[in-house]
Structure 1
Amino acid sequence: MWDKFLFKRIDNCPLLIFRIFFGILISLECYGAIITGWVKRTLINPQFTFTFIGFEWLQPFPGIGMYLYFIVMGTLGLCIALGYKYRVSIISFTLLWIGVYLMQKTSYNNHYYLLILISAIMIFLPANTDYALDAKKYSTAPSRTMPAYVKWIIVFQLFIVYTFAAIAKMYGDWLDFGFIKVLMAPKANYPMIGSILQQPWVHVIIGSAGILFDLLIIPALLWKPTRKLAFVVSIFFHLFNSIVFQIGIFPYLSLAFTVFFFEPESIRRIFFKKRILLQANEIRIPARRMLLVSTIGLYFLAQLALPIRHYFIKDDVLWTEEGHRMSWRMMLRSRTGTIRFKVVNKADGTFKFASLTDYLTKSQQRKIATYPDFIWQFAQHLKKESAGNGKEVSIYVTSRVSINGKSLRTFIDPKVDLAAEPWYHFSHHSWILSAPKQLSN
């Protein structure tokens, strides 16, 4: 049964058209990052970059280097869409995208992480066997089939994303729609819809639809009787997100994924009209079946483990942020706060307060006030800077944080010298104070 489920040959129309959509969208993402000023604001202007901890060596290129970096990625996207030197193009794009993802987290977005996963998966998929410039180089006829597991890898990856996103929303501030009110408040000045988005009944619809859509969309697309309705709902849902939240290519990438849920005949009729429909029932068992199945299994085991790791870390992830990233906790909370860094000279006890404006952009200042890894990293930077001036210092932080518009609460233990504290990737940091009771209420 599993051999038939995974290794049956099926029409590859969905994969071919997805490759084209995917390449075009990542190209638009990269070129758009330059045009909209994202590259300049996020990677060029900051004098200090918050990388992922452990990747401090990975810094933005100086001068026009990052513009060229994104131009190369955008061009690779076009090569992927055209199926030109596909394997080299998709591997190169994946490595470059991982690089830009790790070198900054001020503008962290779950969608950037998803793009890493999909790009990495696409490296191993036969997406250039037809309707690709690569396919014209071979004397043999272009392949019109793919193993069924190609489809199910994409489907299961999406199921994980949406399901964990739905589960994460099932907490107090979302269920009583309080967070939706906070989320929509900055949209009040939007033309035409701004005032509507402030209405309580709209908050109820948005909050309820957010959970129901994430929870049901994959099953609804898989079940033929509800597939067309689910697709129409997807269009409305993702266009709404695109207009209101302006989150780049993700809504359109999500719509592109739907090609894997429709019958190949439907995809062929719309996008490849001259192509003959293939009736494929052959089952081809790969020579290294167990290695392939084990690799896929281990990958998805990791994908299931990462979103639940915060349950094994002390305190509430909504407060500590420990285990938040790479867990599909999307648009889930609003964090604001205040912070002050006290730099104490160990030699004579004199101290000064670090001026954040001398080091950080406004966007970085908003992040550092409320995120523990940003706070720790900046403390280490101040320590290193002082050491370069021949001083050994202690760093103490006074920080207060508000979650979802609630009252400010002390976040970091002001008695702990953060310059002397190590960083743990998978466990709790005792210098983050316990979550206030009002958080769980």
Structure 2
Amino acid sequence: MVKKVKMKGVDRISSLPDSILSHILSSLSTKAAVRTSVLSTRWRNLFTLVSNLNFEFDEQHIHWRKRHKRSTVKSFMCFVDRLLFFHTVNVDKFRLACGKRVDSDRIYGWISAALRRGVKHLDINITLDKFTLPGALFTCRTLVTLKLDSGFVLHVPKAVHFPYLETLHLKSVEFFNDDSVSSLFSGCISLQDVVIEKCNMENISNFNISHHFLKKLTILYSFDCSNCWLMIDTPNLVYFKYKDHVAAGYSLENLASTVSADIQFLIEDEDLHDVTAFFKGICIVRSLILSLDSLKLLLGCESIPVFSTMVELKIFKIWSENHWWSSSMDEGLETLLSRSPELEKLSFPQVVLSSRPEQVPSCLLFKLKAIEILNFKDDEDCIRKAKYILKNGGALENFTMHTYLCEGKRLKMSKVLLASPMKSNHCNFLIL
């Protein structure tokens, strides 16, 4: 018979190997990891083995007197200095977030220290007016992820070499000139995911994203892009999201591999812009999301392209659209449906279906399996639209309508529509 022996007062965690303990500490905040040094002699220097470093100093939440502010900023800088001085291993993740009160020379040195330690994932969020990134950053062979969130001008040298960089996120960056953009993307030979958010395009005439391996591209809320041409040449792009103002012009080439596109044009006036080249570039997608303004721009193109491979389409209203849909629109969703022969899944606000064309779109006759109508009302126009769909939807399997009506009115509407002719014999009908 084996006796169970209870070992009281034994610190089993401290007996673990350094590699395991450093891995545990890497899951904590950097400050918490350093605080463990007071636990015992065993823990005194373990924080120097942590591979994930996160330094964050939020000046907005400091409400003390100026002297205390200076003291707090100095304490933060000394803390980062000491930790990096004693740090002995390579850095996997390095994040730095601080404001204008932190000395720029210190920031330059901290980033340089991370680069010397073979950092793989670098996340810099600073708000300095004038700051130059270390030149060693642009030839860092270890970087896999680079995220820059800052208000300074990004001046990229010609000699850029990121052999393993896969993810590039740029936010609130002002590009120095066209050459900075082209140098940056040409030096990232393994790039797969790019996010350009709230960047200033004032100095750019051609924003050229040309990359053979890029798979995901997101462009959001650019500033001063009205005089800038957007040029995209990405033969292996799978996902494309564009939520931005209309640029001066577009050149979208080699996007045949794009599976999904989310297009949300931000329009501040009622004038329609010519974005024909933009939509011709993405017309080979399988799944397309469009805001109401984007649909309006598409229908206003000189020549609406045929979306020959699109099987899923979603139309929706975004918060920044200060209008709904004009009832006087000559063309509505029905025009786009006539150019989407393979469409199988459709979601849209009922108001964008402006008319019921005599020549029924072929996708409604033979392909559409699921239709979802948003903001459905109990007026005659809405009822006629629903009857039109039921009468011609030969492949329809699911027909869902979302409404704000009470239960009694929904039941009454349901009886009316169920009594109307249906082309499909296996359609599930639902009013929510």
**Does TM-score exceed 0.5, indicating one fold?**
no
Larger radius of gyration: 2
Structure with bigger RCO (C-alpha 8 Å, 6+ apart): 1
TM-score norm. by structure 2 comes to 0.17
TM-score norm. by structure 1 comes to 0.17
Higher share of residues assigned helix: 1
